[in-house]
Amino acid sequence: MKTIYIYITVLFLTLTACVDNPNVTEDDFLDNNNSATSWITGVKRQLALTMNAIVINSEMVSDNYFNNYTLYNKVYDIPQIDYTDIDGNSMQVEIGALREMAEYALETVLPNDPDATAQEWSYAHFAKAYALILSGENFTGLPMNSNGEAYTANELLEASLSHLDLAIDNESDSETILAYQLLKSRVYRGLGDIDNAKSSALAAISNNSLLFVVEFDGTNGVPNEIQNATFTASENRFAPLPRLDFLDPKYFDIGTATEDQKPLSLAKVEEAYLILAEAYTAENNLELAKSTLTNLIDNVLASRPIMYLDDSEELRNGTNRQDYPITAVNVSFESGQESKSGYILDRQAGLIPVYTVSGTSITIQDIDATASADDVLYLIYLMRQEIFISEGRRSNDLGIKFPVSQTEQLNNSNISDEFTQPTIPSFIPLNLGLDDFTADETTGNVTILYDMNRVLVANKASNHVLPFN
């Protein structure tokens, strides 16, 4: 019988501390009375590791964050994405590990454990679905099984739906069911299926506090890496696009960082409202789209927690670029646009607000002032950027996808060359333009070079972005 070194050893050493021999065989593990529970705990751990890889690299390759220190990838901010890049391969490896662990749960562990619960079956199907969702949203294509052929992004998303249905069928917790419904809406949106995206989103908005997260564990070596990059590390590693400054950090620690690791949202009801508003806009029902955004602000965002934090140690003093503003100056989203206050905070002036789930700069007045479908779309994508910051979602909205890695192709003869090329739409500025800005020498006011939400709306006919258009 084969020996499973990686996951079983970690599970027993970190969760039960009862294994003296690290060479735990498959039979040994399956004979354990708690094999299903232990394995699902390991799947949850792998999900956290996977999200670390996805979020760090997705945030960096987008316009959300600039890698302002020597750590992390050196070229994703350009953005330059090569199939030889080890960080892209690491993302793929973590997704593959999540997918394989979920499959092993479904095919071997759960069927062999008479005490396996319906919720454990549900979670295994969810994990398989989420691995496929991450694959389809972030890669040009990936295999669905070890050493298999690569499937397109849409095929990967489509394959996730049956597992989400099975996750729902086996789940008894009503809030978790709604979270899986919301994930279905997210998938249908990615596929451009307005009707199904709407129906699943409408189910999710029955709970305006809906929030489904992945937990991290600093004590056992799985800290939240975006928390580290944006707050904990003394080097101020990630610097946000200045117009997003007021939303940074989303995660923070007080006291011992090891013991204060914040969770990361995988599904939250805000997305249901945003999907519905985008669908209504595509159907030219602007009044319903606008009222949906208004309800999002009034019924959801107004109730999300706001913490207050001493962030005076944040000096934006990374070594790659040293002109990030550290006082409360104004910002223009693009040259020629109005200069606005409130986006860049003076962290030396006192406690700053932290939006630990979701925050936005958009007001009811902004929504009421929209006069066209493009105006509403612009607000939707700005809100998506603000609400999902630090969650690894923005690069997908920009239409950027990573390629299958060289390592995968060298070890898997089924990978054709077409999947080893990244997708970077022609309207994406290169040469660090996504993160670029200028600062007035007299006032300190900042002007962003590219308002990418305006760029997205201008390119809504592209098959890379705005899936309902």
pLDDT band per the 50, 70, 90 thresholds, residue 31: low
Residue 188 CA to its chain's centroid (Å)? 17
pLDDT in tens, 99-150: 999 999 999 999 999 999 999 999 999 999 999 999 999 999 999 999 999 9
For 229, the token pair is 């990059």
Ordered DSSP codes for 80-122: ---TT-HHHHHHHHHHHHHHHHHHHIIIIIGGG-TT--HHHHH
Mean pLDDT of 163-177: 98
pLDDT at 14: 38
pLDDT band per the 50, 70, 90 thresholds, residue 25: low
> H-helix or E-strand containing 305?
none
Computed from CA positions of residues 64, 69, 72, 75, in that sequence, does the dihedral angle turn out positive or negative?
Answer: positive
Q: What is the pTM of this model?
A: 0.94
pLDDT in tens, 206-237: 999 999 999 999 999 999 999 999 999 988 79
Residue 437 has pLDDT above 60, yes or no: yes
pLDDT in tens, 308-358: 999 999 999 888 898 999 999 999 999 999 999 999 999 999 999 999 999
- Average pLDDT score over the chain: 93
pLDDT in tens, 181-200: 999 999 999 999 999 999 99
Q: Which domains does the chain have, with CATH numbers?
A: 33-458 (1.25.40.390)
pLDDT band per the 50, 70, 90 thresholds, residue 17: very low
